Amino acid sequence: MATTTPALTTPVLAEERSLVPGDYANSLFHSQPWQAAVEEAFGLSIETFTPASEPDLVLSYSVIDDIRGRRVVSTPFSDFCEPGLTTAQGWVEFRDHLLSFDAPVTVRPFWTPPDFVDPTGERLGGLLWHGIDLSNGADEMFSRLKSKIRTKIRRVPKAGVTYRVSSAPEDIARMHEMHVGLRKSKYSMLAQPKRFFEALSANFCDDMVVMFAELDGEPIAGMTFFGWNDVWYYKFSASYPNDVRPNVGLMMHSCRVAAERGMQLVDMGRSDDDQPGLLAFKEQFEPIVRSLTTMRWAGTQVPDARAGEVGATLGALTAILTRPDVPDSVAADAGDLLYRFFA
């Protein structure tokens, strides 16, 4: 494929980097524990590439070849995986390397890449990222919240709710069980396999924690966090129907735990911009907000029609397996079997 290398060589949105604490070229999703867990749980191989123009960088990606066809993803089962490239030349080299596999390519950067000339590429929006700045501590962060939100947070323990932090395998398993139920009942989606949670726990050890809001000794809500590079990553959450609605208090408690561990930022993850409930929850915390851009290249290979048929079949199966009359245990088994095809 012929390419044109533009003259742009300035750093990528350098003026915006200071708005977000943390090094997003060395995020959770770049980390060896995360990538090892992805490889172990999904049977994938994560490869690396270093562009000649930026020899200090190590960029990761996977070539996936399964019933959905051949495709290249940087990096699968990650919210994003910022390449950390600072020049248009570096982006061209990375793009051309990924396209050399003659398959569709997806890259999810955190910082939007420069506007290099590429008529074959496509930019997709629709995703938002939220982060809570903890650089001045949890008390200062709490003081920034609206009065009504602070009142909601204070009400949770007054209702008899207690908070508990754990990295124990049995609590990781309980969190996964709750996560399966929420994905099925609220979103009609299959959950990540239990073996992924187990692989994450084994690779991160105490840097992966589950936090429960408990009433009368039983969890009514749970959240999963990873501590990496001074960033506290909020990754999975679930709750049972209850009158207390403890999630806002649980998130505030997690911010206090994060600050005690020296974290500078709570990464609240990415959300689709058509998820009003989730967005409203995150926006209660006066977060930093960014739009995320997905970069896609179709490649030169004629698309395999069977891949589209398989995708439609997976969607139909998911709808069947997440019906209200289907037991959560069946949905969990289905996720164990099928989730790897969603990469």
Q: How confident is the model at residue 13 (pLDDT cuts 50, 70, 90)?
A: very low
Pairing state between β 69-74 and 105-107: parallel
Q: Are residues 280 and 140 located together in one domain of the fold?
A: yes
**Distant-in-sequence, close-in-space partners of 20: CB < 8 Å, separation ≥ 6:** 131, 265, 288, 290
Asked if residues 212 and 254 have their Cβ atoms less than 8 Å apart, the reply is: no
Nearest to 264 by CA among 81, 72, 133: 133
| Residue 80 belongs to some domain of the structure | yes
* Whether residue 255 has pLDDT greater than 90: yes
pLDDT in tens, 98-128: 999 999 999 999 987 656 556 567 888 889 9
Q: Which domain holds residue 194?
A: 130-292
In whole angstroms, give the CA distance from residue 317 to residue 334.
9
Q: Are residues 108 and 150 in the same domain?
A: no
pLDDT digits (tens, 9 = 90+) for 196-236: 999 999 999 999 999 999 999 999 999 999 999 999 999 99
Does some domain include residue 333?
no
Could you tell me if 104 and 135 lie in one domain? no
263 belongs to a structural domain: yes
Domain count, the chain: 2
**What is the C-alpha separation between 341 and 192, in angstroms, rounded?**
11
What is the C-alpha to C-alpha distance for residues 248 and 259, in angstroms, rounded to an integer?
17
Q: How far apart are CA 265 and CA 290, in angstroms?
A: 14
